[in-house]
Amino acid sequence: MRIEELVDKKHFPLWGILGAIVGLIFILTPQIFYVGALDEPFSMFNHYVSELGELGVSELAWMFNAGMVLAGILFIPFMIGLGFYIDNIISKITILVSVFSCVSIVFVGIYPMNYLTEHSISAISFFLSGMVMTFLWAIAILFQKEFRIHKGLSLGGFLNMTIFILFLYGPWESTGGTRPEFSMSATLEWAIYFAIVGYLLTLALYVWRKESRVKSDQ
């Protein structure tokens, strides 16, 4: 298969579907086996996503970290293909932001929380680029030169951007000691996870089904 075929309209949605599946299985499964430093079970309401990759604490940290690396890599051809599929100047700019965001996710897996400085840089790079990326995808969909993706799907991009903003800039404070029963910041981070994986999966499935119907009608 030639490189250009990896990101054509027949193949690029499959990378997005596969990336989302990997992202769901490899990131959610470690929760089941997680036992924290205080022997507490994992909760999305007071544990951050990256805690699942903490070596020496999370039993399946290797699975979480591998999943971040694999998902980041798999989403790269999807992002490139999506940008050329929408085919306007905004979508092509978004390719650059999206690839940077994917690479940031890869480095989150390479540098788990045990490497705090490198991990923090990788994570904040993802959060900032992810916020811009989802906004730009929404704008690119709204201003398509030729109808490719239903404009209603731009709402998912704006929703993602809003959750990113709330997580990054909200006045959230932890209460109740070192491990509060509820942390808005941790909860919003999980909201980002589900929102962005769900949005990219929705876009991938939409294009895949649309192009499959076109092929069957020919």
Residue extents of the structural domains in the chain: 3-213
pLDDT over 60 at 176, yes or no: no
Residue 2, pLDDT score: 66
pLDDT in tens, 8-57: 888 999 999 999 999 999 999 999 999 998 899 999 999 999 999 999 99
User: Exposure pattern of 25-37 as b/e (b: 16+ CB <10 Å)?
Assistant: ebbeebbeebebe
pLDDT in tens, 58-92: 999 999 999 999 999 999 999 999 999 999 999 99
State how far the Cα of 93 lies from the Cα of 13, in Å rounded to an integer: 19
State how far the Cα of 23 lies from the Cα of 61, in Å rounded to an integer: 14
Contact 53, 187 (CB under 8 A): no
Token pair recorded at residue 44: 């999305």
Phi, psi torsion values for 41, nearest 5 degrees: -75, 165
Contact 47, 36 (CB under 8 A): yes
Q: Is pTM, for the whole model, over 0.75? A: yes
Token pair recorded at residue 66: 């591998």
What integer best gives the mean pLDDT of the chain? 94
User: Tokens 């990101």 — which residue?
Assistant: 7
pLDDT tier at 6, thresholds 50, 70, 90: confident
Token pair recorded at residue 100: 């940077």
